[in-house]
């Protein structure tokens, strides 16, 4: 850290131990969707994740860290950067961290970020692009896992169709393991999705239990692809199924009626991008 950053930091870090501090009350309220919507912010936990977010250009509104982290090089650097960009830095007790995260062993570094979603008009599809579109996804763990999987498979982003679970809920953000910062999200109504796909004409592959096409036989190459996945309980409605260029099924054996949504998305996604992935590119 430079001298300049050191100077910037002096006197600008708030030391908080009380749960009744209004700033802490405000941060704790981020566990509620209403408050996240009103403030346009969300909470993410973990030093690595916070560093990754900064590297990807996200802005920290408030950085919160445990007292024991004071003086640690990476934490000091993030604190200086947060202050330099007009954010707030809080040094807090373990009790406060536990209360904010609602976990017994909380991460020592957490941060409040501004939410970012991509406007549909900013989506420019190209051959080799694969988008995942989720119809009314309900389960935060499923959504987080799908965002993480989309990141790992090199998908261009995830479209959330209709009334879905909040992608910025703590549970979803945790399940993304940091991919929330790397994968563009688009929120869209069913009507707008149908209009957009009709106009831009990607290959829309609907994943459907009654699909007539084996998902492994589809030619995914050299064209933009949208993998359209159904709701956990109801599957794809006819209105969306009818708009699909292909209705694909993953063959199953055994007694299970269907695959879990996140698993089905992963299976479809890695098949659709198989020709684009090799071990040379995918070194973790
Ligand atoms: N009861 C729902 C139904 O009738 O579709 C089950 C939905 S399933 C839990 C959630 C989604 O995962 C489905 O809508 C579909 O997109 C995908 N899915 C699950 N198993 C699949 C399979 N064997 N083939 C194709 N898609 C599948």
**pLDDT, mean of residues 35-55:** 96
The span from the CA of 255 to the CA of 10, in Å, is 63
Q: What is the mean pLDDT of the chain?
A: 94
CATH numeric code, 5-114: 3.30.1330.30
Of 245, 243, 197, nearest to 219 (Cα)?
245
For the chain, percent of residues with pLDDT exceeding 90: 92
Of 24, 126, 9, nearest to 75 (Cα)?
9
Q: Is the pLDDT confidence value at 5 over 90?
A: no
Please return the burial class of 197, using the count of CB atoms within 10 Å of its CB with bins 0-12, 13-18 and 19+.
buried
The residue nearest atom 25 of ligand 1, judged by CA position, is 249
**pLDDT, mean of residues 186-209:** 98
pLDDT for position 8: 42
Sheet holding 157-161, edge to edge: 185-188, 157-161, 130-135, 225-229, 203-207, 246-249, 213-214
Alpha-carbon separation of residue 76 from 9, 42, 59, 90, 252 (angstroms): 9, 22, 16, 12, 52
Distance 160 CA to ligand 1 centre (A): 17
**pLDDT, mean of residues 241-246:** 98
* DSSP-assigned letter for residue 7: H
pLDDT for position 92: 97
Q: Is the pLDDT confidence value at 1 over 60?
A: no
- Identify which has the larger pLDDT, 7 or 93: 93
Which residue spans of the chain are classified as CATH 3.40.1280.10?
A: 120-277
pLDDT digits (tens, 9 = 90+) for 126-147: 999 999 999 999 999 999 999 9
pLDDT for position 280: 80
pLDDT for position 10: 52
The span from the CA of 21 to the CA of 33, in Å, is 21
Name residue, tokens 């590297």: 55
Distance 100 CA to ligand 1 centre (A): 36
The span from the CA of 79 to the CA of 89, in Å, is 6
- Nearest 5°: phi and psi at 41? -130, 170
pLDDT digits (tens, 9 = 90+) for 105-128: 999 999 999 999 999 999 999 999
Which residue spans of the chain are classified as CATH 3.30.1330.30?
A: 5-114
Q: Is the pLDDT confidence value at 213 over 80?
A: yes
pLDDT for position 9: 53
The CATH superfamily assigned to 120-277 is SPOUT methyltransferase, trefoil knot domain (3.40.1280.10)
Distance 10 CA to ligand 1 centre (A): 55
The residue nearest atom 4 of ligand 1, judged by CA position, is 235
**pLDDT, mean of residues 144-152:** 98
With a Cβ cut-off of 6 Å, ligand 1 is lined by: 207-209, 211, 229-230, 232-233, 235-236, 249-250, 252, 258-259, 261, 264
Q: Is the pLDDT confidence value at 269 over 50?
A: yes
Confidence of residue 7 (pLDDT cuts 50, 70, 90): very low
pLDDT digits (tens, 9 = 90+) for 55-75: 999 989 999 999 999 999 999
Of 169, 165, 140, nearest to 31 (Cα)?
169
pLDDT for position 282: 53
- 115's tokens: 């939410």
Distance 230 CA to ligand 1 centre (A): 6
């Amino acid at each position: 850290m430079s001298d300049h950053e050191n100077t910037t930091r002096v006197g600008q870090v708030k030391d908080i131990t009380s749960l009744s501090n209004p700033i802490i009350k405000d941060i704790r309220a981020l566990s509620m969707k209403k408050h996240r919507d009103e403030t346009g912010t969300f909470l993410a936990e973990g030093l690595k994740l916070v560093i990754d977010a900064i590297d990807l250009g996200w802005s920290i509104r408030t950085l919160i860290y445990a007292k024991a982290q004071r003086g640690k090089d990476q934490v000091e650097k993030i604190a200086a950067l947060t202050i330099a960009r007009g954010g707030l830095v809080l040094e807090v007790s373990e009790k406060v961290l536990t209360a904010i995260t609602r976990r017994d062993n909380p991460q020592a570094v957490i941060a409040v970020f501004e939410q970012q979603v991509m406007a549909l008009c900013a989506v420019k599809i190209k051959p080799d692009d694969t988008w995942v579109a989720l119809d009314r996804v309900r389960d935060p763990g499923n959504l987080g896992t799908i965002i993480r999987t989309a990141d790992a498979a090199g998908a261009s982003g995830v479209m959330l169709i209709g009334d879905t679970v909040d992608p910025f809920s703590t549970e979803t953000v945790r399940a993304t393991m940091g991919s929330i910062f790397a994968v563009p999200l688009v929120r869209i109504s069913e009507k707008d999705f149908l209009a957009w796909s009709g106009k831009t004409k990607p290959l829309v592959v609907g994943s459907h239990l009654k699909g007539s096409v084996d998902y492994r036989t589809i030619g995914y190459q050299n064209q933009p692809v949208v993998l359209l996945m159904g709701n956990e309980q109801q599957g794809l409605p006819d209105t969306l199924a009818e708009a699909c260029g292909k209705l694909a099924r993953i063959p199953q054996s055994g007694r299970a009626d269907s695959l879990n949504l996140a698993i089905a998305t992963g299976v479809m996604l890695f098949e659709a991008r198989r020709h684009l992935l090799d071990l040379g590119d995918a070194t973790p």
